[in-house]
């Protein structure tokens, strides 16, 4: 399959399928359903919190954090006060848990944020934090199960031990297709797109992209 810049930048959904209200590539969704069925055998429901995300949705998330309309978390997953941060400090804080618009793996349709409804305590709101998946907490059984079974279904966790991106135990990626998207990815195409957005943070983010390139994809 030819992977176009529109596909890896999150500018089109034409290559995607849909299942249970979530969009993704056909192969990734089919593999997820098989993973889901296997988890049920262990008494664990496997549920999606997020799948495909467009460039413009990621742009809104980044803007909301930059302009203080949405919380930004520190390394301990506590809310930060960005009001006194420099532009560069703001960007670095946001990038701890949020991808650059156009560099989110959710643009590919191969990556999903997952949790377990059966393990989420009653009246407890899903946060998608590493704390929830840590030993002794409610999603730890899911964390342990995923560690044993993900690879058998073609998935892996790209943000586990990546020095540029914080640990996201809830984020899984359908490896074969995701790596094909990364191979096709041209950071220069993103720089061209970002320059059209007229945001105050673009110049700093452009330098970041030029320094790290595809490493920012995990």
Q: How do the domains of the chain map onto residue ranges?
A: 5-217
Query: Which CATH entry fits the domain spanning 5-217: 3.40.720.10, 3.30.1380.10, 3.40.50.150, 3.30.750.24?
Result: 3.30.1380.10
Cα gap 171→3, rounded to integer Å = 22
pTM above 0.85, yes or no: yes
Identify the bridge partners of residue 18 per DSSP, sorted by sequence position: 23
What pLDDT digit, counting tens, does each position of 39-63 carry?
A: 999 999 999 999 999 999 999 999 9
State the burial class of residue 201 (Cβ atoms within 10 Å of its Cβ: 0-12, 13-18, 19+).
buried
Element (H, E) at 98: none
Is residue 132 pLDDT above 90, yes or no? yes
Is residue 76 pLDDT above 90, yes or no? no
pLDDT given at position 161: 60
Greater confidence (75 vs 190) lies with 190
Cα 201 versus chain centre, distance: 20
* Alpha helices by DSSP H, 42-198: 55-66, 87-95, 130-133, 140-149, 175-184, 187-194
Q: What's the number of CA atoms in the CB half-sphere (13 Å) around residue 213?
A: 7
Question: What average pLDDT does the chain have?
Answer: 95
Is residue 109 pLDDT above 80, yes or no? yes
Confidence band for 38, pLDDT divided at 50, 70 and 90: very high
Is residue 197 pLDDT above 90, yes or no? yes
């Amino acid at each position: 399959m030819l992977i176009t810049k529109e596909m890896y930048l999150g500018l089109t959904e034409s290559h995607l399928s849909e299942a249970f209200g979530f969009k993704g590539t056909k192969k990734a969704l089919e593999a997820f359903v098989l993973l889901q069925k296997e988890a049920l055998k262990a008494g664990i429901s496997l549920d999606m919190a997020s799948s495909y995300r467009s460039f413009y949705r990621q742009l809104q998330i980044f803007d909301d954090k930059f302009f203080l309309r949405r919380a930004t978390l520190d390394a301990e997953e506590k809310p930060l006060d960005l009001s006194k941060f420099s532009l560069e400090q703001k960007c670095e804080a946001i990038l701890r848990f949020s991808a650059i618009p156009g560099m989110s793996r959710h643009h590919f349709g191969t990556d999903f944020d997952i949790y377990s409804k059966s393990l989420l305590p009653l009246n407890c709101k899903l946060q998608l934090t590493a704390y929830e998946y840590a030993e002794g907490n409610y999603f730890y059984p899911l964390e342990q199960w995923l560690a044993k079974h993900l690879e058998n279904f073609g998935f892996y966790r790209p943000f586990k031990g990546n020095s540029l991106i914080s640990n996201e135990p809830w984020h899984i990626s359908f490896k074969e297709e995701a790596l094909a998207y990364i191979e096709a990815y041209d950071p220069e195409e993103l720089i061209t797109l970002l320059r059209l957005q007229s945001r105050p943070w673009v110049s700093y983010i452009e330098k970041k992209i030029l320094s790290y390139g595809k490493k920012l994809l995990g």
